[in-house]
Structure 1
Amino acid sequence: MNAEEVLRRYALGDRNFAEAMLQESEILHASLLEANFQQVDFRQARLGQSNFSQTNLRQADLSEALLWGTDFSEADLSAARLRETDLSGAKLIRCNLSGAYLLKAILNGANGNTANFARALLIEADLQSSSDRRTDLGHVNFSHADMSYVRLGGALLFDANLTGARLCRADFTGTLQSGFAAADLTQANLQAADLSYANLKGAILREANLRGADLTGVDLTDVDLSGAVMPDGRIHN
């Protein structure tokens, strides 16, 4: 099966493309909402600006794919492989990425508001804001995700759930390239999170919950902790 056949069959009403081999395929500016792409091989595919909202992409392999501005709103990408995938500017609103593998994935300027990344692997992922758009991760579920060495400069994480997340050596600082300040984690839940040796310079953690969090090696000098619950349970002034 190739991209042309997928588009032709979709136009005729077919929605089932499970386990198709579509490696290196090009599907640009197409609408494929509500289709079944479970376990499809999309490695190194180019799917930019397409609409995959409400699709089933469980266990699909999108490693090294180019997904610039692609719409995955309410799609199911649970346990999908997105190693080194470029999701810059992608729409991930209410997308299910639980258990997904996003090693070194790029999500600059993506809108992941209310998405589910529970227990996902995001080691060395780049979630920094882009030069023209802030990465929106508000209300996202990152509980027990592995986000070691992740870059979050300028990202919005308002009310995000980072309970038990591993953020060892994560970088929350702003960048000259994006022009945005450090990450905003206002009211985020970081209870029992591992923030050891993370760079939080300039980060905003107003009213955040840090109870039981590991802050080993973290410099809090320039961090806004107004009203935050500290690891020992006290409220920061």
Structure 2
Amino acid sequence: MDRKELQIRYNAGKRDFAGLKLLESELLQLRLNNINFSRSDLRQSRLGRTHFCQANFEHSDLSESILWGSDLSEARMSHARLREVDLSGANLRQAQLVEVNLLKASLCGANLQRADLSGACLIEADLRPTADSRTNLIQANLQQADLSYGRLSGANLQGANLARAILRRANLGVDYRPGTWPTDLRGANLQGADLSYADLTGVNLEDANLQGADLTGTLLDQANLKKCGDAPGLSPATRLRTSRFKGEGMMAPN
């Protein structure tokens, strides 16, 4: 099926295209809201600036496809294969991306507000600087991912693997807007991560692994560092005013 035939059928009211094979297809700047592409093969396709609001891509393969600037708000994409996909500037607000494979994917500037990426593979993914307010990243694998300058305030990263991730100058702290709260990093693996000059004000880091992390110039005011244990990488430039460290509930030095 080519683009023309798909568009004709869609305009006639058909929405179920499950199991479709459209390798290297070009579906640019179309309106395909509510379409069902579940279990479809769309590898290496050009899908930029297309409206896929509330579309179904569950268990589909979109590896190496281009989806920059597309509207995928409220889309269902759980268990999809999105290796090396380009989602730069895409709208993924409230999208379901549970356990998706986003290895080396580009999500630079994507809107991930209230998106569910729990258990997702984001190894070496580019997430600069995404809008991640209240994003669910529980148990996500973000090893060596680039989240520098990201706005992650309110994201849930409980148990996430952020080993060697780049969070330089990222904002994970309280932004004091109504309905927002600090990022949850309880039990997260931040071993060897670059957190230099990041804002972790009020962040919950209880039981997180900070071994070898770079915290140069990091803001940790009122952060919960309980049960973190020794954290090599803490430097005199790190602000720890009113923070708890080593589970002692003590006032950390300024």
- What is the rounded CA distance, in whole Å, between the counterparts of 1:166 and 1:197 in structure 2? 11
- Structure 1 stretches lacking a partner, 5+ long: 130-134, 174-181
In structure 2, the partner of 1:204 is 199
Say if 2:25 and 2:45, in contact at 8 Å, map to a contact too.
Answer: yes
Q: CA deviation at 1:218?
A: 1.2
In structure 1, the partner of 2:171 is 184
In structure 1, the partner of 2:120 is 120
Q: CA deviation at 1:14?
A: 0.2
- What is the rounded CA distance, in whole Å, between the counterparts of 1:94 and 1:110 in structure 2? 12
Q: Deviations over 1:127-155 (max 9, x none)?
A: 012xxxxx101100000011100000111
Say if 2:29 and 2:50, in contact at 8 Å, map to a contact too.
Answer: yes
- What is the rounded CA distance, in whole Å, between the counterparts of 1:84 and 1:229 in structure 2? 35
Aligned amino acid, residue 183 of structure 1: A
Identify the match of residue 140 of structure 2 among 136, 142, 145: 145
TM-score, structure 2 normalization: 0.86
Say if 2:162 and 2:191, in contact at 8 Å, map to a contact too.
Answer: yes
- What is the rounded CA distance, in whole Å, between the counterparts of 1:194 and 1:216 in structure 2? 9
Aligned amino acid, residue 86 of structure 2: D
Aligned amino acid, residue 98 of structure 1: V
In structure 2, the partner of 1:74 is 74
- Moved >2 Å (runs of 4+): 231-237
Among the aligned pairs, what percent are the same residue? Answer: 44
In structure 2, the partner of 1:83 is 83
- Structure 2 stretches lacking a partner, 5+ long: 174-181, 228-246
- What is the rounded CA distance, in whole Å, between the counterparts of 1:228 and 1:148 in structure 2? 23
- What is the rounded CA distance, in whole Å, between the counterparts of 1:231 and 1:164 in structure 2? 15
- What is the rounded CA distance, in whole Å, between the counterparts of 1:128 and 1:112 in structure 2? 12
Root-mean-square deviation (CA, aligned residues, Å) is 1.1
Q: Deviations over 1:42-88 (max 9, x none)?
A: 10100110000101110111100011100100000000010000000
C-alpha distance 217-195 of structure 1, shift in aligned 2 (>3 A): same
Aligned amino acid, residue 141 of structure 1: N
* Alignment: residue pair count: 224
- What is the rounded CA distance, in whole Å, between the counterparts of 2:3 and 2:99 in structure 1? 27
- What is the rounded CA distance, in whole Å, between the counterparts of 1:236 and 1:70 in structure 2? 47
In structure 2, the partner of 1:177 is none
Say if 2:87 and 2:105, in contact at 8 Å, map to a contact too.
Answer: yes
Larger Rg: 2
- What is the rounded CA distance, in whole Å, between the counterparts of 1:204 and 1:7 in structure 2? 47
Say if 2:195 and 2:216, in contact at 8 Å, map to a contact too.
Answer: no
